[in-house]
Amino acid sequence: MVNTHHFGLELTDNSKTGWAFSLSRSQSCVQATSICKRLCYGNGIRYQSAAQKAKRERNFKTVEYLLDMGGSELLAQNLVALVDQARPADWLAAKISGVPTSLPWSVRIHDVGDWHTTRYVQAWQIAVAQRPSCKFWFYTRSFADADLLGAIAQLASLPNCSGLLSIDSENFDSGLLAFARHSGVFKLALLQEKQADLDPELLPAVARQVKQGQIINFPYHHGGRHVKPLLDSPLTNCPQITSEALPLVTNKYMPKPCQSCAFCLPV
């Protein structure tokens, strides 16, 4: 008999992104590189509490259970209900009056975790299409498998969803290939180590293929410090990491840094 108390989907109120959905890294990050595993901010202490780990495990287990019980359609119904929980408090009043909400309605898919199956991607595609007023975005390293990438590209092609292919010194070749195969669908996100540790072919390869505004750079950061950001074109450095312009926000009545910057979010 299934113990339903061990199931449920839950969002995280992230001080950088706002509302976000997360999954267990060990089970969902099927194409993580060794660099990603070593530098992932999911290694940070605030992600290592028993409660945070249990939430991600429960989310993953619930995703798999709903997919097994009713496929992508059943999971999508539950995801839509979850997304509705992220609506700004004045959403209904704003909808009736025709004025903007006080805060953006947005959900980052996977502040921890990644795409692991096509039917999981398809569930989010259904949910995102049913909530066109919400802005969704995600970063992914799941681009080596053609079928999985094809499903992810369909999701990222929706007007209210933005997808960024996450590259580093280990996977930039396949990331740039996926970027080219789905021209105009994705942006790129670079996980930047110290410049001395970068593959010397990475930046020239990016410069040959990528235009300004198509790639954001995330210098590795930990404990409030970050490696020296690259200034090479066409990179745009994440302003929350590399400047004091967009500090982390815990006040629920204020927009979060990603919502204010909006580089990674859909237009």
Q: What is the pLDDT of residues 107-140, one digit of tens each?
A: 999 999 999 999 999 999 999 999 999 999 999 9
Task: Please spell the DSSP secondary structure of 54-120, one letter per residue.
Answer: HHHHHHHHHHHHHHHHHHHHHHHHHHHHHHHTTS-TTHHHHHHHTPPPSS--EEEE-SS-----HHH
Q: How many CA atoms lie within 13 A of 253 on its CB side?
A: 0
Q: How far apart are CA 182 and CA 263, in angstroms?
A: 19
Q: Is 138 within 8 Å of 238 (Cβ atoms)?
A: no
Q: Is the pLDDT of residue 3 over 70?
A: no
Q: How far apart are CA 48 and CA 42, in angstroms?
A: 8
Q: What is the dihedral of CA 79, 161, 24, 144, to 10 degrees?
A: 130
Helical residues (DSSP H) of the chain, grouped into ranges: 25-28, 34-39, 50-84, 91-97, 118-130, 146-156, 172-181, 202-209, 239-242, 257-261
- Residue whose pair of structure tokens reads 């980052």 in the numeric block: 108
Q: What is the pLDDT of residues 140-184, one digit of tens each?
A: 999 999 999 999 999 999 999 999 999 999 999 999 999 999 999
Residue 230 DSSP symbol: P
Rg, the chain, Cα only = 18
Per-residue model confidence (pLDDT) at position 238 = 98
0.85 exceeded by the pTM?
yes
Q: What is the pLDDT of residues 19-75, one digit of tens each?
A: 999 999 999 999 999 999 999 988 887 788 999 999 999 999 999 999 999 999 999
Q: How far apart are CA 220 and CA 242, in angstroms?
A: 10
In sign, the C-alpha dihedral spanning 95, 88, 245, 169 is negative
Q: What is the pLDDT of residues 201-257, one digit of tens each?
A: 999 999 999 999 999 999 999 888 899 999 999 999 999 999 999 999 999 999 999
Where along the chain do its domains lie? 8-261
Q: What is the pLDDT of residues 177-200, one digit of tens each?
A: 999 999 999 999 999 999 999 999
Q: How far apart are CA 265 and CA 243, in angstroms?
A: 19
- Residue whose pair of structure tokens reads 């780990």 in the numeric block: 53
Per-residue model confidence (pLDDT) at position 122 = 98
237 phi and psi angles, rounded to 5 deg: -80, 140
Q: Is the pLDDT of residue 1 over 70?
A: no
- Residue whose pair of structure tokens reads 């976000």 in the numeric block: 20
Q: Per-residue confidence at 5, pLDDT binned at 50, 70, 90?
A: low
